Amino acid sequence: MTEIVREKEQIQTLVASYRTAGLRVAVVPTMGGLHDGHLALVRQAAKTADRIILTIYVNPTQFAAHEDLDSYPRQLEADRAACEALGLVDAIYAPLVMYHDAHATMVTPTGAAAMLEGEARPHFFTGVATIVLKLFHHVPADEAFFGEKDYQQLCVIRQMVRDLDIPIQIAAVPTERAPDGLALSSRNAYLSEDERAIAPQLYQAMRQAAHALLSGVDTGEVLGKMATSLMGAGFAAIDYIALRDPVTLAETDIVTSDTRLLVAAHLGKTRLIDNASLSDLVPR
C-alpha cells in the first residue's frame, strides 16, 4: 500500500535516504482530487526519477475568502488508490499542518505573477509561491513536475527557483485533455451536465483563434471574435484572453508558433482556465 507520510521530518529523512543511496528523486506537488492530468505528471516523472513523492495539501493561502477552499475535493483514500493502481508513487506526503499559528512570512512574486491570474486573483501566486517553497524544503527532490495546464503558475515557479537559487529542476508536462478537448482539472467536477457540454468550446475557440492568428488575421479582430463566440456559447464572463511571450508572459504583438494563448472564463459558477502555444493548437 502506498505510504502516506504526515510529518515533515519523516519525509525529509526518507528523501535524504534515497539521495544518499544515489537515487534521483522527483516531487509532484498537488492539492489532491487526482485525475489523469496528475497521473500524467507522475508518468512523466517516472521516465527520469528513481523515486517519486506526490504531495497532497489543499493550500488555504492560495484561495481568497470567496473562493472554493471548503468545497475543494478532499479524497485522500481515493487518491491513494489511484497512486496504488499506477504503481509509480513511492510515498504520498500529505501534511496536516503547513502553517503554524504565528506564521508571518510569505513569498510575493512579481514579474510573471503580476498579470492575468495575478490580476484576477491577487492573493493567488503569493499563496502558491509560499507553499511550493515550503514543500521544496520538506521534499528536497532533484526535480519537480508541474502541468502546463496552469501555465502561469509554471512560469512563476520557474522564476522563483531562478531568483531564489533553489536547488531543484522544474519540469513541465503538457496538458491532459478529455477526448472533446476540455483540459482536465479538479474544478471540472463543479460543472453541471449542461455546462460540461458547453465547456469544450473553450478549446475549440482557442484552436480557431490560433488558426486565424497564424494565417495573419489581425490580433485584435481574432481575440474579439473569440470573446464573442465564447459569450454566445454560454460563458458568463471572460477574465482574459491574452497572447503572451512563452517565457516572460510579457504582452507581445509578434505572433509566432511559440506564442502562448491564455484564457480564463466563467461558466456558471466555475472558472475555467486554459492555454497552449499556437503551434499546439493548429494540427500540423
Angstrom distances, CA of residue 188 to CA of 156, 205, 232: 24, 18, 20
Whole-angstrom distance, CA of residue 264 vs CA of residue 151: 12
Is 137 marked active-site? no
The answer to whether the beta carbons of residues 163 and 236 sit under 8 Å apart is: no
Minimum CB distance to ligand PAF smaller for 40 or for 213: 40
Q: C-beta of 97: minimal distance to ligand PAF in Å?
A: 15
Exposed e or buried b per residue across 212-247, where buried means at least 16 C-beta atoms within 10 angstroms of its C-beta? bbbeeeebeebbeebbeebeebebeebbbbbbbbee
Smallest gap, in angstroms, from Cβ of residue 238 to ligand PAF? 22
Question: Among 35, 38, 103, 211, which one carries the catalytic annotation?
Answer: 38
Closer residue to ligand PAF, CB minimum distance, 28 or 263: 28
The least CB distance from residue 38 to ligand PAF, in Å, is: 8
Closest distance of CB 89 from ligand PAF, Å: 15
In angstroms, the CA 267 to CA 199 distance is 7
The nearer residue to ligand PAF, 29 or 118, going by C-beta atoms, is 29
Which residue's CB is nearer to ligand PAF, number 1 or number 96? 96
CB 128, min distance to ligand PAF, A: 5
Give the nearer residue to ligand PAF in terms of CB position, either 121 or 244.
121
Applying CB under 6 A, which residues contact ligand PAF?
29-31, 59, 62, 128, 131-132, 150, 153
Comparing CB distances to ligand PAF, the nearer of 140 and 234 is: 140
Q: Whole-number minimum distance, CB 105 to ligand PAF, in Å? A: 17
Residues taking part in catalysis: 38
